[in-house]
Amino acid sequence: MDSGFKVAEELEVMGARGTVNNYVRFFTDRDEGEADEVIRLMRSKGFEVNKQNNEQNFSALNHGKVPAGQLEVWIGRKQSPLLPK
């Protein structure tokens, strides 16, 4: 399915430094809508994620270091394997 998102070919396995839960992080206020859409897409695929608990706004801490259009998707240790639909 073509979701219309450009995905960087970058994957970093965090091991013990990873998260427990799934998160979608954004770094500028302009990217909040895009983060919302990623959460909707993830939920439709069976990921355990929602806006209230799993969206993280890092815009106040960004100070221009991360340009607009950048999101991070974290898959935590509590995520069950996804079953084919």
Specify the DSSP class assigned to residue 39: H
Residue 85 is predicted with a pLDDT of 65
Per the structure, the count of domains in the chain is: 1
Residue with tokens 């859409």: 37
Q: Is residue 54 part of a domain?
A: yes
Q: Is residue 81 part of a domain?
A: no
Q: List the chain residues with pLDDT less than 50.
A: 1
Report the C-alpha gap between 25 and 22 in whole angstroms. Answer: 10
| C-alpha distances out from residue 37 to 1, 18, 28, 49, Å | 14, 23, 15, 12
Give the pTM: 0.78
Residue 1 is predicted with a pLDDT of 46
Residue 12 is predicted with a pLDDT of 72
Range of the domain at 66: 20-74
The neighbouring-strand residues paired with 14 are none
